[in-house]
Amino acid sequence: MTESNDQNTTPFSLLAHELLVDVLALTHPRSTVPATSTVTRCIAQENTHLVRSWAHHIIFHASQWSEVEDKLHFGAEAGFFEYDPAARQLVSRLSTWLKTRLPNRSNHLAPTTQVQSSEPVLTAAYVDWLFSIHGPIHRDLGRNPTPWQAQLDTLCGLLHSEDGEDDYPFSHPDRLKPLPHRRWQLAPDAFQLSMYFARAGHIGLLQQSLRHLLKLLPDLALAEMPMSRWSQLMLDNRQHVRTTINLLIDTSADAALAFPVFLCFVGALDWSLPAIQAVASVFPDAALRFTSWLNTCDGAFRGIFDMLGAVIEPDRALSLLDWMYANGLEKRQVDVDPDDPRQAPFMALSAGNARVFGALLTRFDVPFVWPQIADTI
């Protein structure tokens, strides 16, 4: 070997590409990985096949997720199974990986600013490929003749008792097992991607995934399923959210909703107007259908206000409420009920921040209550 060749020889140049993929799969999915060497940078920029292989291995086959999956299986989900049995969520390799990239407990809300640039794996190009005619989600749709509603019904039905007995985590362990698939599927993966993008604040990717999903499933805008089905696709471990879902399923006869309406509800639980507007941009009638549902479901609105305590920016609360009222949410003017947060002067009492309290008091409560007081003077 010549001296010049010796100088140009690097460890990466001696490593077969097959081994390099295995090495990259051991790394955490961070945007700094491509900057570790010129080889990884070139791979990340030019070799889309290797990038997709790395992403697939990270999500579905990396060994570090087995331990996390076991904790979700026997830990968090088992607890929710016992205390909020109707609010259980599907556990899979994908949902496990997505949940590790989200806030895990209460007092964490979705970002309201675009954070797409911080997502190194689920990039816009990767999402386009997933739903493309050559991508795995589109191919799964072609392979599986079962209608998507029936697929979801079968998957989600695995968590429900058919014998009418009470549900307990250790008396029904089979219904806590993670889903076994190790490749992309239309159901539940494509739907959980949208849930993730909404909760993670990836507004552009949320719109992008919903457009792709609507193109694949033209009836998605209007097809309704019970809340107990949609809620199992959520990626949310917050106790207030789980309790709200559990109560809605138990007390509202498990109302049937369209997927866009439920996604708007997911965004409202995070007080994320950008997420709701992203849904409405793809499904134009989603806004009116969402507020119409809230007008008939007090429990859903109370659940949204249960999360108001985590809001620390007044504009975040005011903008969402202004949008909902502008899109058909009703204001009750008589028979003020202290348990109904839609009715002033009790709206501000749901706030957990002094600035938010003052903003709600000034914008909604005082203008409503003053005319009633003036009539008595």
- Per the CB < 8 A criterion, the answer to whether 261 and 289 are in contact is yes
pLDDT value of residue 115: 54
* Cross-strand bridge partners of residue 226: 256
DSSP annotation of 165 = P
* Residue-by-residue pLDDT tens, the chain, 377 positions: 444 455 556 665 666 666 766 676 677 666 566 666 666 666 666 557 877 887 888 888 876 656 555 555 545 555 555 556 677 888 888 998 898 888 655 447 887 766 545 677 898 999 999 999 999 999 999 998 999 999 998 888 755 544 444 444 334 545 557 788 889 999 999 999 999 999 999 999 999 999 999 999 999 999 999 998 999 999 988 888 988 998 998 887 788 999 999 999 999 999 999 999 999 999 999 999 999 999 999 889 889 998 999 999 999 999 999 999 999 998 753 345 556 655 545 788 888 999 999 999 899 888 877 766 666 66
pLDDT value of residue 104: 56
Query: Any residues with CB less than 8 A from the CB of 178 and at least 6 apart, and which?
Result: 69, 72, 73, 91, 92, 93, 96
pLDDT value of residue 252: 73
Cis peptide bond upstream of 111, omega within 30? no
Quote the tokens at residue 202: 């990836």
What residue type is 46 in one-letter code?
A: E
What residue type is 362 in one-letter code?
A: T
DSSP E strands in the chain: the ranges are 224-226, 256-258
State the number of CA atoms in the 13 A half-sphere of 290 facing the CB: 30
Helices 191-200 and 273-282: angle between axes, nearest 10 degrees: 140
DSSP annotation of 114 = -
Q: Where are the domains of the chain?
A: 60-159+175-331
pLDDT value of residue 176: 59
pLDDT value of residue 121: 84
pLDDT value of residue 11: 63
- Per the CB < 8 A criterion, the answer to whether 344 and 361 are in contact is no
